[in-house]
Each structure stands twice: as structure tokens, then as C-alpha cells.
Amino acid sequence: MLRRYLVKRLLIAIPSLLIASLIVFTLPRLIPGDVVVLMLAEKAYAKDLEELRAKLGLDRPLPVQYVEWLGRVTRGDLGESLWTKRPVLEEIGQRLPVTFELAFFGLFFALLIALPVGIISAARQDTISDYFARSLAIFGLSVPAFWLATLLIVLPAIWWGWRPVTGFVEFSRDPFNHVTQLLLPAVILGIATGAALMRLTRGMLLEVLRQDYVRTAWAKGLAERVIVLKHGLRNAIIPVVTLLGTQLPQIIGGTVIIETVFGLPGMSRFLFDAINQRDYPVIQGVNLVVVSLIVVINLTVDTLYAVLDPRIRY
């Protein structure tokens, strides 16, 4: 049964990935002609217009271009950067670990905040602690990450004369400083996701706590802790796990701003620079890698979900 579900899920993921690749592929094709001229004048990416069109692959019929591009992609060839002339895949390979690490820590902090606050908020619905937790969560969803980052850099500097270390320390050089430099960015990155997860945890738990079997548990005289954590949370947590998967694109999107503010050499900053330099092979490459990763991770989350919840039969 599970295998059939997995095959079905995989069959759904493939067209999504193909459509995503089509979107990634089409983007540069939407560039108006004068932008190619501009790219030539501004960045001197090629000797003449024809060469640049050929480099961008804009000189042949669209379907042919797509199939050829897809063929190259499946062989691991994402083209080379117009700016640095290095293979895009190689450039991404260097920067992906930084972004990944940041996203992982961000998600970790998000869960660390979301679960306890969500549980307390649901178990004490419409009390002061619930109002406080919910206001805090909504505020967490409302505060722009770049502002929070700015405040956390500026205020300690003004109050205590403490400034965060700038410049990136690699893990192989100094593991301790490598991790500590990522803590602040990761916490800021995790706040919005944590707030979203907290709200879902609260909502789902509230729904479960209204079920008949919970009423029975109360009637049996079980302790509140057992009812909320054992009967409630275990049944409410599954959608939260699913949301983790869907939050991933947002976390990775958030790294664009965090990496820019903190000067981390990750993939998102690479994309941002590429956008500013109109380096289309890089834009295409990074987009494709990000989307593929997200589709694969979502597939994994779905699989876990099916394995973890014995009630689900496909």
C-alpha cells in the first residue's frame, strides 16, 4: 500500500518538477530584446549581439532550446556564469552548504519556539498567556527580518559597544566561530516560521481538544498534562510536520535577505548578485536547484508522514 502511495506521489512530483523547470527555463526568454542590448553594453558579456544571444541560447526555436537545455541539465551541466565564466554547478556547490546550514538552524529554532508556545496557548485558550503568545506570534510574523537583523546589530553596538564579527569563518578553519556566527542569522530566520508553526500547532491542538475522546479522557480524570501532550499533541502534530515541508521555500527565500544583511557567502546571495548582474545562466541554475531540492524534501516529508501515521492507508 505504502509503495503504491509512494509511486503515486512520485508521479505527481514529476510533472510539478517539469512545470517548474519550464518556468525556470522561460524566465530569461521573456527578456525583451533591448535588455540583451543593455546587457551587452553594460556588462560586455560578449563581442556582439549575436554571440550573446547564442550564449543565452536565444537563437533557436523555443521547444528545441527547452529540450536541449533539459538534456544538459540532466547531465549536470547548468552552463557557465556570464560574469565569472565558471561552471554554475561548481559555484552553487560551494555556496549551497552555507544556505543549507542556515536553513537547518533556522528551522531548528523555529520548532524550539513554536511547539511549547503553541501548546501552552491552546491549553489555556483565551487567557492572558494565550493572548500574549498569540500577539507575540503575530508580531513575529509581522517584523521584517532585515529590520530585526539591523536592530540586533545596532542596539548592542550603541548600548554595550559590541559589534558582531564580519567576514565569513569556514567550518574547517574554526568550527566554534563558524557555528556562533550563524546563530544570530538563524534565530532571525526562524522567527517568522516559528510564528507560523506556533499558530498551526495551537489551531490543530484546539481542534483535537474538542474531540469526544478528549472529553472522555477528562471524564476519566486523567491529568491535564497527559491529555494535552499524549491525547492531544500526538494527533495534532502531523499537519505541523507537513507545514514544515511547505515552510521550506519561505525559509530559503528568507535566506536571500539574511545572507545579504550578514554578508554570508550562501547561494541566495549568489542569486541576488546574479540578478543584479543579469547573469541569466546563474539565475536559471540556482532557481532549478532550489526548486528541485524543495520538491525532493516535500516528497520525503510526505513519505515520513505516511510512515509515521498508522491511520493513513493509501
Min CB(112)–another protein separation in Å: 22
Out of 7, 151, 226, 312, point to the residue binding another protein (CB under 8 A): 151
Smallest separation, CB 243 to another protein (Å):
13
Pick the stretch among 1-9, 30-38, 43-51, 304-312 that binds another protein (CB under 8 A). Answer: 30-38
Cα–Cα distance, 95 to 267 (Å, whole number): 5
Q: Give residue for cell 511547539.
A: 115
Of the residues 238, 295, 301, 304, which one makes contact with another protein according to CB under 8 A: 295
For residue 228, give Cα distances in angstroms to 14, 91, 128, 131, 186: 39, 48, 19, 19, 30
Q: Least distance (Å) from another protein to the CB of residue 174?
A: 26
Using CB under 8 A as the binding criterion, the count of chain residues that bind another protein stands at 68
User: What is Dmax (Cα atoms) for the chain?
Assistant: 82
Distances (CA, A) of 128 to 88, 123, 134, 136: 53, 12, 10, 12
Residues 98 and 103: their CA atoms lie apart, in Å, by: 9
Among 134, 231, 259, 266, binds another protein (CB under 8 A): 134
Q: Retrieve residue 252's grid coordinates.
A: 530559503
Q: With beta carbons less than 8 A apart as the criterion, state whether 205 and 122 touch.
A: yes
How many whole angstroms separate alpha carbon 45 and alpha carbon 5?
48
Residues near 30 by beta carbon (within 8 Å), at least 6 away in sequence = none
The β-bridge partners of 80 are: 87
Q: Does 222 bind another protein (CB under 8 A)?
A: no
**CB 172 → another protein: shortest distance, Å?**
28
Q: In whole angstroms, what is the distance from residue 135 CA to residue 119 CA? A: 15
**Stretch near another protein under the rule CB under 8 A, chosen from 59-67, 87-95, 173-181, 253-261:** 253-261
Residue 15 or 63: the one with the smaller Cβ distance to another protein is: 15
Which residue, 111 or 257, has its beta carbon nearer to another protein?
257
Verify binding: residue 196, another protein, rule CB under 8 A: no
The burial of 214, by beta-carbon neighbours within 10 Å (0-12 exposed, 13-18 middle, 19 or more buried), is given as middle
Q: Does 286 bind another protein (CB under 8 A)?
A: yes
With CB under 8 A as the contact rule, the residue among 28, 87, 164, 239 that binds another protein is 28
| Residue 263 engages another protein in binding (rule: CB under 8 A) | no
Contact set with another protein (CB under 8 A): 12, 15-17, 19-20, 22-23, 27-28, 30-31, 35, 125-126, 131, 134-135, 138-139, 141-148, 150-151, 153-155, 157-158, 203, 206-207, 209-212, 214-215, 218, 246, 249-254, 256-257, 260, 268, 271-272, 275, 278, 283, 286-287, 290-291, 294-295, 298
